[in-house]
Structure 1
């Protein structure tokens, strides 16, 4: 009797092929996200020269250079937003990887995400004095504001300028007076607020600004003057603008993260050593018509320091907890900043 052996190998191979195909298709999103994670960097910045380190890093491709040293090709994307609230929303929805905003919004999102996304600071963008500018000669201190006045800030109740104003109010009127000037705050992007102060004849009688808008206001409106500054309120030089990210991004992208911080540190060294070139980069990257001499004046101001280590930020966070803005009181910088050798010694 002749036996006929029927091979099931082709059928088995077809079944296996289908199963493998199904598994591969199911895994594609995971494979794609894993492949895109390390080496992709989306950074949100806002308006002003306080973001100069990012401008320099972008212009000189420092992030890409540091990435190559670490063995990873980094695709860097920059997004322009306005206000800490918008930046925080973008970070929490996964639209960006690195957020650039005031230290006030950092404390807000750090407190809000504890035990979940665990957002913490990555680096400072340097120390700049932020000026509260008024174009009304009557207003010489925060005690001179009346219910008819309006104070422009990037985002009411969230931006670092708004927090500085609350801190100044608490220092003048005590804990019960912390929110005394809140009803006067109006949310306006810095360029619009600067135009209102320079032009005058609007409801905006003050602007808690940042460079270079505050310097423009002082230069272009003879009535514009400084009412107080962030340095006055916080008791010395302080890092008002910072960068922050989620714990997941830092954990899943160690090479990209380290390359980014190294690039920022490299940019800080560059700006300090080459203010003229840095001024040109700022003007070129932002398409700005600001007078170059004014930009150089800011960069060479002894009160301005380019460093990635945060300075004098803890005090504001503790005030925000006392005032009820956040629930958790920070005890040390390491509570709300990720550990990194380049930002060691921050305060």
Structure 2
């Protein structure tokens, strides 16, 4: 094991404390929900797969992270980003190659290769492959530009279409009736499939935009996944298991990704996480719940849309426009406003937790 890996940066007590609080909170909530539902000791539960994958992912990271460093798979930091991030250049990226497969493998084996878990796992790995291709191009060309946005979008739509075709062939027609709170439903018919495809692409990109600070995307995704798992537990125990596995794997990844990060997940991880959230929500007809759970990812996406739109709308004769935020996504705006990384991440964890509780309360 490379000792320099753990001594190259000073230990951040706040990063350790944030991780400890998140791990304790997720574990306590998972155990409480299992106790309340009488799932303690059962094969299909929240707490047991959560911690199994957390330990497996964390343990595997002690081998993979030094390997990525030795392969010089370092992150290229964009020059127009926050200047404080320039010191992170060279930190290994593409960490999604170890924590995503851990969750998928455990979920498949634990569920006995349930058809729904197989489908969601395939979509998750497909989006991870898109992210890997993007990360590999960045590393290969030593540039922060990977595959073209058009190519990435085409690949995302392609995997989304395959997933929707599988749903059409295997799921009951009632899935096209969008479930709303208070037992209400909204019949969408064919429009449901357009919505499903949009959600798959949008959610994966939204999670990708949130991956900008140490521990931010992994922690918020772990919270959202556990919340989604708890929401669908009564009707889809196998997919609950999948969510718990991926949430736990994110938690294990945070052992290496908490501030100061020793590895980044890259697009390999962030696109996969968003795709997994969307795929589970679509199969279980939990899109309204996902909308609330993904509130933070939605804010990050809207901040980028507002920034780009405002800049174009205010362009003068010199071709230069004004900026609505100091920088987008929104977490960069907070950072340039004087907030520390750990303070921003702590706020996002807190808001993510509140959104999860709100989702369980009204859905």
- Common fold: TM-score over 0.5: no
Flag the structure with higher strand content. 1
Flag the structure with higher helix content. 2
> With structure 2 as the length reference, what TM-score do the two structures score?
0.23
Give the structure with higher Rg (CA): 1
